[in-house]
Amino acid sequence: MSNIYEIAEKVGLSPSTVARALSGRGYCSSESRRKVLEAAKELNYSPTHAAKTLKSKRTNKILFCIPDIYNPFYFGMIKGANDVLEEYGYYTLLCHTKHNIEEELKMIDVLREKYGDGMIFVSFHFCEENIGAVNASEMPIVLTNRYDSPDGNDNFDYVYVDTYMGVQLATRHLAEQGHRKIAFIGGSLDEQTSFERYSGWKDELVESGLNPDDELVYEGDYTIESGYSCAERIVKSSHVPTGIVAANDLMAIGFIRYCDDHGIRIPEDFAVVGMDNTDFSTVIRLTSINMRQEEIGLNAASLLMERILEGRTCKKTIRIEPKLVVRESSIPGK
């Protein structure tokens, strides 16, 4: 692959003239530009990304950090973000943080080292440690969960779907079908995301005139396997519910798979509602909460471009409301 000096030697022009001809900026006669472009094609010239980055101070890359690369929930979010970023000539670098805060902190350091111009940051648990690193980075970052620091001095934006409301919708739907014992399957209650969803379940039970019972709370890790394990514990317990609210579709699928393996009927024996409304939920006719992933990604990328291209510094937040999508897993004959 050639460089501008080789082109300059071939056409008998100065390197600065060649650079102007190739970039289309600055004065260059039409005849000189023609010679340069022909020589560049002949010599298979292509400008290096490093050189363009050095000149523009931008990489045209965005780090997109997700905690679980196997979860289809993030596919729509990535698509929504890419649809926006492509319009601005930006590329997405997908970073798998493995539900691990050390990996999240590592990716924030990578951003500070200018491997990208900004970050869309997804986490199950935003806390003082990773938020402190986000603020200290002074880089354009958009979170996909709600977080406001006590001092109000945050350097990031956030876009979030109201997961608390989402679990309320799921729980209310089961209560309206006459279920009096409704279990909740979620992640670790020590984590922000799962505690928000647990709170939605608990508060909606009270609103529906039911008594929240923490014996009906089961902790998993948002995987099919943990949903299967929770189902086994529920079925074998002495306190069996009739309604199940799962904090994502994968755990709901795991629960239903266990029931299929053991001759337990859905929804006659257990009515099940998931969250995320992924393509899986359509296939197995799972009632689920549409978490509007594509809109999250689209809005997150738009806020990021405002930060990077327009220099906005004030914090912006966007709240998106979830929607209940009813299918056969919660209503017989639906």
Residue 243 in this model has a pLDDT that exceeds 90: yes
Contact 225, 219 (CB under 8 A): no
> Which tens digit of pLDDT belongs to each residue from 1-43?
577 778 888 888 888 887 788 777 678 888 888 888 888 888 8
CATH homologous superfamily of 163-291: Response regulator (3.40.50.2300)
Q: Comparing 4-47 with 58-161+293-321, is the CATH topology the same?
A: no
Percent of the chain exceeding pLDDT 90 equals: 79
What are the domain boundaries of the chain?
4-47, 58-161+293-321, 163-291
**Average pLDDT of the segment spanning 63-90:** 95
So what CATH class is 4-47? Answer: mainly alpha
Q: How confident is the model at residue 77 (pLDDT cuts 50, 70, 90)?
A: very high
**Average pLDDT of the segment spanning 108-135:** 95
Q: Which CATH architecture has domain 58-161+293-321?
A: 3-Layer(aba) Sandwich (3.40)
Q: List strand residue ranges (DSSP E) for the chain, in order.
A: 61-66, 91-96, 118-121, 141-143, 157-161, 182-186, 217-219, 243-246, 271-276, 287-290, 317-320, 323-325
Residue 185 identity = I
> Which tens digit of pLDDT belongs to each residue from 163-191?
999 999 999 999 999 999 999 999 999 99
What is the number of other CB atoms lying within 10 angstroms of the CB of residue 50? 9
Closest CA to 196 of 218, 167, 174, 220: 167
d(CA 267, CA 126): 35
